[in-house]
Amino acid sequence: MMHPSRTCRFRSLIAGLMLSMFLGGVLPAAAQPQWQGAAFEGDRAALEKLAAAGAKVVRVYSESHAWVLDEAHRLGLKVVMGLWVGHPRVGFRLDDPEAVRRQEEGIRRFVQRHKAHPALAAWGVGNEVELGLADPLPAWREVDRLAGIVKALDPAHPVMMTVSDNSDGNLRLLAACCANVDILGINVYSGGLFEVLPRLRAAGVSVPVVVAEFGPLGQWQAGRKPWGAPVEPTSSEKAAYFRDALAFLARQPDVAGAFPFLWGAKLEQTETWHGLLLPDGSLTAMTDALSAAWGRPVAMPAPAIRGIGIAADEFTPGQEMSAGVDAVSFDGSPLQTEWKVLTESVGRRPDSDYEPPPDFVPVRILHADAATVRFVAPQRPGAYRLYMTLRDRNGKAATANLPFLVR
């Protein structure tokens, strides 16, 4: 796929032209054609909010989201349609001919069924299939083989493979492995976003690049409390990251598209770490930042959190605790704050994508208002988080949480 040869440069040009055709009329003629949208996992109401925010393209991960094609067409969106490829780290056997055959047949049927859909912009074959593997090449070669099948069935749409932010050594392997792939998607978080493009080019990657996921500091990158709990940025800190990241990406001629992660709600380490929306669909400062970058600045932005704090990191069972948040609405009107305590996430097992939801912990509230809370620490020793969700008079939300330990 990615040899810096005349053939590869020609294929890169063709893929770029294909992107331009799919995005014709979306961006001004003088601008670089760039997919403008988000990675998506949500319901129809969330998709409508994505379109209203100014997105033009939505990325979905698997065939289970085929319904998005029809809804996106109704809303004037295009779709990068995910074709899920099994991960060896969670049990998919690349050396099992029957499993490989069944996966291929399912992809063949799906592509045949949907290749003429008017909302289809591209196929996304696989997502981070190399995770947990010492040698990524067998998994990447299987993705490339499937990409070739997809291209044979549907030569009218480009094919993207998506990998995680890999080591430079793995990126060099990637640059030579996948001749059937038109676009490389890369999932990259925090400051790595601002460094990944020169790393890809230095590794020999020459096809168009799509930043297929990006977001602020992930839980695997964040600072940790002494007992191991990662510290989550507030919604306002995340919004500032998206503002800066989107401005940066818009200036990169080598970027064919950028998909913030994740338009929807997602449990991963916490209820709020990666979701741009709340579970009830509430919009946030992060969605405001995306909307502004997409040319639709909001008139009534979400509440801004200026600071949070807790009396201490560690408490004894039944000890009185206090915490607070410094926040303001866009017009100075009062905010309402929901305070709740949950157990700390146990995370995912290395061989599973399932994460058990944290338990709600009933605590005795001594006082609570929009800015402060006093309550009695849980009786059971363990790791917990105090969550705060602030809402303004329009229902927009701001979120933060504070880990604490009882022992």
Res 13 pLDDT > 80: no
Q: Average pLDDT in the 329-340 region? A: 98
**Beta bridge mates, 255:** 209
350 confidence band (pLDDT: 50, 70, 90): confident
Res 352 pLDDT > 90: no
Res 353 pLDDT > 60: yes
Domains of the chain: 6-215 (3.20.20.80), 304-406 (2.60.40.10)
Res 16 pLDDT > 90: no
pTM confidence score: 0.92
Res 14 pLDDT > 80: no
Query: Over the Cα atoms of the chain, what is R_g?
Result: 22
- Contacts within 8 Å (CB) and 24+ apart, 73-77: 73/117, 73/118, 73/119, 75/47, 75/48, 75/51, 76/51, 77/37, 77/47, 77/50, 77/51, 77/119
Q: Average pLDDT in the 362-385 region? A: 98
Rounded Cα–Cα distance for residues 218 and 225 (Å) = 15
Res 23 pLDDT > 70: no
Mean pLDDT, the chain, rounded, equals 92
Q: Average pLDDT in the 145-153 region? A: 98
pLDDT of residue 1: 44
Res 22 pLDDT > 50: no
Give the residue, 47 or 7, on which the prediction is more confident. Answer: 47
Q: Average pLDDT in the 92-101 region? A: 97
* CA triple 75-267-311, angle to 5 deg: 125
pLDDT one-digit tens code per residue, 254-309? 999 999 999 999 999 999 999 999 999 999 999 999 999 999 999 999 999 999 99
pLDDT of residue 351: 78
